[in-house]
């Protein structure tokens, strides 16, 4: 039987979602727990390959298992064995053809920037502290210039292996609440480090290190080196996945 499982996790202590040799990942922890529950190795396919220290308020994954446990009871069973920074919140049955990654039609990320003189120790794992002044109006203008359907090759970090770099970035907006800036990005798919590079570029624009008026030409130039830095991972959170 095929299952669709929705998770939430705090990525602070993990080297991202996908299994790897050099650190503990969310996928590894979940598959180990599933082995304990089902008594068999269970391969899990995730909706995204979140980086080390990146969080998820909604992360969808799928797997097949031979079990009598009802789908809606799976979260209760799994949460009894999962660490407290990973929670299963919804279990459903799914068609055998379901693929959590390739069936997704839209993903939404939020990135939080703490734009205050002094850092907040309670946000150190959940926001990028950027103490210099930022021009919010210019950042909003830059959002409008980046948003849309186009080739986002210049927003892909080295090591990205996407077959095509054209994406439909349907939303790129921000909300400022005191010193906390939240950038929201929605697209039909994202390239490697794409959101973090977009945020780093927006911050460069807000800090006067790049001109918003130059963005269109820079994007068309497809040169990663011409844009902003890659924002640190802890400010990023996957918040919604649509199928």
Dihedral sign for Cα atoms in the order 94, 87, 181, 16: negative
Beta bridge partners of 93: 3
Of residues 56, 13, 65, 58, the one with CA closest to residue 34: 65
**CA 165 centroid distance within chain:** 17
Of residues 101, 96, 88, the one with CA closest to residue 56: 88
Q: For residues 77 and 5, is the Cβ–Cβ distance under 8 A?
A: no
Q: What is the pLDDT of residues 10-41, one digit of tens each?
A: 999 999 999 998 899 999 999 999 999 999 99
What structural domains and CATH numbers belong to the chain?
Answer: 2-94 (3.30.70.580), 106-242 (3.30.70.660)
214 is catalytic: no
State the catalytic residue, choosing from 51, 66, 85, 151: 51
Of residues 61, 73, 53, the one with CA closest to residue 3: 61
Q: What is the pLDDT of residues 68-79, one digit of tens each?
A: 999 999 999 999
Claim: this prediction has a pTM higher than 0.75: yes
């Amino acid at each position: 039987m095929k299952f669709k499982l929705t998770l939430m996790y705090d990525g602070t202590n993990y080297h991202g979602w996908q299994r790897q040799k050099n650190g503990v990942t969310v996928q590894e922890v979940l598959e180990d727990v599933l082995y304990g529950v089902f008594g068999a190795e269970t391969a899990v396919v995730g909706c995204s390959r979140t980086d080390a220290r990146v969080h998820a308020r909604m992360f969808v994954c799928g797997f097949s298992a031979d079990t009598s446990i009802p789908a809606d009871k799976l979260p209760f069973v799994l949460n009894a064995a999962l660490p407290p920074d990973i929670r299963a919140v919804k279990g459903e049955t799914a068609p055998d053809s379901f693929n959590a990654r390739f069936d997704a039609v839209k993903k939404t990320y939020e990135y939080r920037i703490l734009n205050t003189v002094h850092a907040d120790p309670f946000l150190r794992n959940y926001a990028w502290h950027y103490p210099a002044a930022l021009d919010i109006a210019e950042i909003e203008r830059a959002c409008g210039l980046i948003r849309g359907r186009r080739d986002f090759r210049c927003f892909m970090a080295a090591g990205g292996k996407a077959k095509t770099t054209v994406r439909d970035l349907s939303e790129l907006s921000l909300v400022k609440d005191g010193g906390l800036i939240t950038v929201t990005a929605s697209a039909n798919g994202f390239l490697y480090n794409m959101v973090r590079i977009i945020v780093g570029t927006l911050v460069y624009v807000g800090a006067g290190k790049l001109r918003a008026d130059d963005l269109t030409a820079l994007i068309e130039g497809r040169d990663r080196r011409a844009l902003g830095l890659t924002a640190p991972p802890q400010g990023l959170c996957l918040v919604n996945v649509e199928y």
